[in-house]
Amino acid sequence: MVPLRKVSKKYESDCQCLHGFISGVDAINQPKILKILTSRSFEEIKIIRQLYGAIYSQNLLHLLRNTRRNNALSRAAYLRMSEPYERDAEIVRDVLSGARVDLNTLIEIICTRSSLELQSIKQAYRSQYNSDIEQDVSLKVHGGFKEILFAVLKSSRNYGSRVDMSMAMCDAKTLYEAMESGKSIDQKTIISLMSQRSSDQFKSILDSYKELYGKELSKSLKRNRCGQFGKDLRVVVRCVQHPEN
């Protein structure tokens, strides 16, 4: 471990630069700020945050948060220096506060995070904005995506539970019946299932579905009988199953 004295000297100039930017003394020196944001690892960012507090007796993140709305660079610095769950909460808030909801960004965050990560995002959202992310999604998102994303958010309450392969097989059969037993897909059963299983458990259900029936659920959802709900669900399922894409 690097001695604190050496760490302090190494990052003290970064803190001075950030302080000058925030206080307005050196507000025009954007290249230095950009260099800090792009060249430091997140572990180094944590050191800078701690050192800034020690030098100036102020919380660096709080200062950036208070100026981020009126300054694009402050917002970039705030996002870069935040914990991942705080950054996600900020992005979701911006998405839901706009005149038009950016569904692609919203789906990417909600559907690629683990249940534990989603819980942290929800807590940060509530703490920072005094609002409930599930309620805001319900108010701003419409159609099938509203039900589906709400179910995924609700499912995060099941974080920490171990993956049960036997249950995954049973749920895959339930999912298949919901897809095939009627003239149209059983939306209520699918939404109920999604809301009651953690992200890891739901991924296991999707894997079991492919194992049992020889194709991914997303391919089954391409049929016309699945309607608009099926199209919306397919987008979410593909994001859950293949987050790298």
The predicted-structure confidence for 157-212, as pLDDT tens digits, reads as follows 988 889 999 999 999 999 999 998 878 899 999 999 999 999 999 999 999 999 99
Mean pLDDT score, 64-86: 90
Residue 184, CA distances (Å) to 194, 213, 224, 240 in order: 18, 19, 9, 23
pTM above 0.85, yes or no: yes
Mean pLDDT score, 217-245: 89
Q: What does the alpha-carbon distance between residue 209 and residue 193 come to, in Å, rounded to a whole number?
A: 14
Q: State phi, psi for 176 to the nearest 5 degrees.
A: -65, -45
Give the burial string for 34-72 (b: 16+ CB within 10 Å, else e).
Answer: eebbeebeeeebebbbbbbeeebeeebbebbbebbeeee
The number of angstroms, rounded, from the C-alpha of 211 to the middle of its chain's C-alpha atoms is: 29
pLDDT level of residue 4 (50, 70, 90 thresholds)? low
Of the chain, the percentage scoring pLDDT greater than 90 comes to 75
* Element of type H or E holding 180: helix 165-180
User: Do 165-241 and 84-155 have the same topology in CATH?
Assistant: yes
Window from 3-7, 47-51, 126-130, 170-174 with minimum mean pLDDT: 3-7
* Element of type H or E holding 197: none
Question: Tell me, what's the pLDDT at 203?
Answer: 96
Triad 141, 147, 151: Cα angle to 5°: 115
For residues 98 and 95, the model is more confident at 95
CATH 3.40.190.10 corresponds to the domain 165-241: no
Instruction: Identify the CATH class of 4-81.
Output: mainly alpha
Mean pLDDT score, 119-130: 96
Mean pLDDT score, 83-89: 96
Instruction: Identify the CATH class of 84-155.
Output: mainly alpha
Q: What are the residue ranges spanned by the domains of the chain?
A: 4-81, 84-155, 165-241
Question: Tell me, what's the pLDDT at 78?
Answer: 94
Question: Tell me, what's the pLDDT at 40?
Answer: 94
Is 205 in contact with 237 (CB distance < 8 Å)? no
Question: Tell me, what's the pLDDT at 1?
Answer: 46
Q: Going by C-beta distance under 8 Å and a sequence separation of 6 or more, which residues neighbour residue 85?
A: 117, 120, 121, 123, 124
Question: To the nearest whole number, what is the mean pLDDT of the chain?
Answer: 91
Q: Is 214 annotated as a binding residue?
A: no
Question: Tell me, what's the pLDDT at 24?
Answer: 79
